[in-house]
Structure 1
Amino acid sequence: MAQAPHVDTNARNERWLTVGGPVVFLLLWSAGFPIAKTGLRYASPLTFLSIRFALSIGVLLAVCAIRRPQWPRDARAWLHLVVVGFLVQVMYFGLSYLSMTAGIATSVLALIVSLQPILVGVLAPTFVGERIGARRWIGLLLGLAGAAGVIAARGPLHAESLGPVLLAVGALIGITGAMLYEKRLGTAQDPLTSNLVQYSVGLIFCAPMALGFEHTPVQWTPTFIATLAYLVICNSLIAITLLLAMTRAGKVSQVASLFFFVPPAAAVLSWFFLGEVLPTAAWWAMGVAVLGVAIATWSPRK
């Protein structure tokens, strides 16, 4: 009888991750694109990230002092956290911010990183032993077509040069690698300690480069402070924790399919935050993307 509450709690947590987790993650992650673009008006990219990481670490240290979470028990667990931290914080966020600063449009960046499910679908059989059937491939391709339609309906895609596009592709490789690595080798850790280690890795890599190569002073405006607060609390702490938790709880290819929602959601949120109008044709393309994600992630009840 004493085990029942624990089982019930685990079942409730799993149901929440299955139903509520994807919705919360999608909103927080998608809003990060227009909000980050706003913040980059007031600070250089690596400086912006270094401040963000430092603030995140400060918050986590304060919470850890109160909660006293369990730390990784062996060197291997520490290494896993360091690798995931580098892939997500340095490669994904670092290269994304550099790409936006270099001139790529936010919609183009969102589209490129939404290719992640295709890469995961191709690589998952080799790296994590998942079988990707024809139904899921159809869903993934529909999702990609719909996401591309949303972006194309907003107008021609422009990048100042090939450099920003290559930076965005590097960000795509980073987040894809993190999900595959977490699924295959990651171990369940306290979110507080895992996030603290990963943001420390981000700060260790980004801060020296910011000091060495970026010399533009930060403009501490109310808008910049607001963007920092959102990115630290919602993007850095809540969204990343949800992403890793959902990856461990479910099939990595299904979790990755959530990213097909990001370009349409980012387009809607860009309209809300930045006043960018979403054309009528984009709504139809968004419907195709939603259908594709539904097909790719649906699994029959047993």
Structure 2
Amino acid sequence: MPAVFVLIWSTGFVVARYAMPHAPPFTFLTVRYALSVLCFVAWVGWARVPWPSNRAQWGHLAVTGALMHAGYLGGVWSAVKLGMGSGLTALIVGLQPVLTAVWMSAQGGPVTRWQWLGLGLGFGGLVLVVSAKLSVGQEVTATTLSLAVLALLSITTGTLYQKRHVQPCDVRSASAVQLFAACCVSLPLACLEPQAMDWHPELIGAMAWSVLALSLGGSSLLYLLIQRGAATRVTSLLYLVPPCTAALAWLLFGEAITGATVLGTALTALGVSWVLRAPKP
């Protein structure tokens, strides 16, 4: 399941590359969330799975949906749309495993020495992987930097909040609630965007993949991983997303893979393996 999650999640930047020229960020994301909710509701009805049992759980799921979907994806897409390079955005958001471990450690959580070493090694590998995409000419403004940091804080807070407050429930009904909350947050922002959606074939393909693979597949797997595993171990998997994205960009767009990319991928994989295999304290 972790390997499938990383592969699916890595396609997010590929989807953004196809969709970004044809739609503003929050308009695209709002339509994506709405279609995903419809799919999940139909799935819940067909499979007759239960909805969350009480109002408190509905509220907790809504909070995680607003943070992990609207906050995270909205921040990333908006930062890239306004000119921040995807490499720098990935690097900032890639601080999530370290930020999660710092929080867990401050709360007396179980973060071992080997896990700290693995997190450091994994982040070093991440820097090498995205180094080819970093350049002095990238547009880094207070707005784009704030959006990237917002994305980082949103997914980190959402992960920790879900691990602490959300009780185990069916992933399909839980995802429907989360995505509905994300849609409610994104819709007012979409109404403020002046650009209309251009239903180009590339946009249609990106939307279909976003709904069927990223929302129904990737988001559901992330929910299950957080429910079943320690927060530090789960978030460390996100270190593997940029290397996997680089491989996809090479296959689909012919982007060069440098020696730094190969070395960074190896270091990242080694670091993640340390985090996942470290003995529990």
Shorter-chain TM-score: which interval? over 0.9
Match of 2:146 in 1: 166
Match of 1:10 in 2: none
Match of 1:76 in 2: 56
Amino acid at match of 1:279: T
Match of 1:125 in 2: 105
Shift of 1:42: 0.6
Percent of aligned positions with the same letter in both sequences?
33
Amino acid at match of 2:258: P
Amino acid at match of 2:271: G
Match of 2:264 in 1: 285
* Alignment partner of 1:296 is 2:275: yes
Name the SS for the 1:40 alignment partner. Answer: helix
CA offsets, 1:61-117, max 9 Å, x none? 222221222111111111110110111111101111111111112222222111111
* Alignment partner of 1:116 is 2:70: no
Consecutive unaligned residues of structure 1, counting only runs of 5 or more, are 1-20
Amino acid at match of 1:189: C
TM-score normalised by L of structure 1: 0.88
How many Å separate the matches in 2 of 1:293 and 1:179? 18
The aligned runs of 1:1-302 (5 Å cut-off) are 21-127=1-107, 129-156=108-135, 158-162=137-141, 163-211=143-191, 213-300=192-279
Q: Which structure: larger Rg?
A: 1
Consecutive unaligned residues of structure 2, counting only runs of 5 or more, are none
Amino acid at match of 1:289: T
How many Å separate the matches in 2 of 1:33 and 1:136? 27
Does the Cα contact within 8 Å between 2:65 and 2:182 map onto a contact in 1? yes
Name the SS for the 1:220 alignment partner. Answer: coil
Amino acid at match of 1:144: F
- Pair 1:299–1:161, CA change in 2 (3 A): closer
TM-score normalised by L of structure 2: 0.94
How many residues are aligned here? 279
How many Å separate the matches in 2 of 1:295 and 1:169? 27
Name the SS for the 2:168 alignment partner. Answer: coil
- Pair 1:155–1:71, CA change in 2 (3 A): closer
CA offsets, 1:39-59, max 9 Å, x none? 111101111011101111121
How many Å separate the matches in 1 of 2:35 and 2:9? 19
How many Å separate the matches in 1 of 2:136 and 2:244? 18
